Amino acid sequence: MSLCIGLMSGTSADGMDACLVDITEQQVTLIDALCIEYPKEVSEFFKAIAVADNLSAELVMDADRLIAQYGVQAVVTLLNNNQIDASEVELIGSHGHTLRHRPQPEGFSWQIGDPSWIAEHTGITCVADFRRRDIAAGGEGAPLVPAFHQHVFADREHSAVLNIGGVANLTLLNDILTGFDTGPGNALIDEYCQRTLGQACDSNGSLAASGVIIPKLLEQWLAHPYFAEEPPKSTGREVFNLDAFLPAQYSATDADILRTLTELTAATVSTALSKWSPTTRELLVCGGGLKNTFLIERIAALLPVVKVRSSAVAGADPDWVEAMAFAWLGWRTMKGLSGNASTVTGAQGERILGGIFPA
């Protein structure tokens, strides 16, 4: 039995996910999980610095420490809830929060969340900074979860995995493992709701479902060059943010804009899957986007020969797959095992990922 904790703060910037898992060579078993939600002003702060043109060193260090403190809070709460002492936990695999992701040819990805602070204030060894070694080896540094998907869903034939966070990414479980970011997931939908409606998201996609697609706008969005790029590829909030996609004071109803934004995610996911894995017959969905029932309905409608299902049918709680993945990646690092899949990221080979910060 090897108890490990995974920490994940995604591009949606809504909170710190933490999961407690038992890892063996054969399987990863979820014991408990929780999310420490960020206050509105903290969430807005993280989103703003992700697209800011200029950042002071002091601001970045403040954010670095703040993410770490939320990580510590999540770990301590998780341990207390399960009456487990820190000495019983082998490691924390911390993804942190992405401040910048600009992969090849620029070649860098930067996750904040001071791992030294996490190790010091939890008393548990922290493994962090998973992406930069893959980039140093010529890869995108993302997505990293496909290797975990392959590990936990290896028995699913003709299947793919779709994670819908702020960005959506696909894992294609074919003879050769591949995966890539398809484009926006929840990011543009949520950002519009927060800016215009003063609410966190379009709950269940109900407002989008009441609107109609704006064809000219959707056509314009689908012409974005990212969608035409071939894998390996990855992206982030730097590319897919509302300022870059929607003209200020665009004249249309909220319902119609949300309907069009929802269709953008659904269309880019379905097109990518059909193009790069036409034999797929099952799509396992995880991440926060699974809660947007209208979005899932649209993806299913655009993939009529594919069964679109929650990852729960394969034994993986859809809310915690990413956090579990980083616990597993941390475990592999501690064992001296590679964590990336070079067929996914485009790296020159398999690499041991991250840095180890001892307790």
- In this prediction, residue 54 carries a pLDDT of 87
Supply the pLDDT for residue 169: 97
Q: Which residue ranges form the domains of the chain, and what is each CATH number? A: 3-141+320-357 (3.30.420.40), 154-314 (3.30.420.40)
Binding residues for ATP: 10-17
Tokens standing for 334?
Answer: 């501690």
Where do runs of H (alpha helix) occur along the chain? 40-51, 57-82, 115-122, 131-136, 146-152, 187-192, 206-209, 215-222, 225-228, 242-245, 254-276, 293-302, 321-334, 342-345
Report the chain's mean pLDDT, rounded to a whole number.
Answer: 96
In this prediction, residue 233 carries a pLDDT of: 96
Say yes or no to pLDDT of 249 above 80: no
In this prediction, residue 148 has a pLDDT band, given cuts at 50, 70 and 90, of very high
Amino acid at 74: A
Q: Provide the annotated binding site.
A: 10-17
Task: Identify the band that residue 117 occupies on the pLDDT scale cut at 50, 70 and 90.
Answer: very high
- The predicted pLDDT at position 295 comes to 98
* Euclidean distance between CA atoms 242 and 129, whole angstroms: 28
The reply to whether omega before 103 is within 30° of 0 (cis) is no
pLDDT confidence of residue 323: 98
Task: Decide if pLDDT at 77 tops 90.
Answer: yes
Helix (H, G, I), strand (E, B) or coil at 312: helix
In the chain, pLDDT over 90 holds for what percent of residues? 91
pLDDT, average across residues 228-244: 93
Read off the pLDDT of each residue in 63-82 and give the average, rounded to a whole number.
98
Instruction: Tell me the pTM.
Output: 0.96
Q: Which pLDDT score, from 0 to 100, does residue 104 have?
A: 73
Q: Give the model's pLDDT for residue 283.
A: 98
Confidence of residue 51 (pLDDT cuts 50, 70, 90): confident
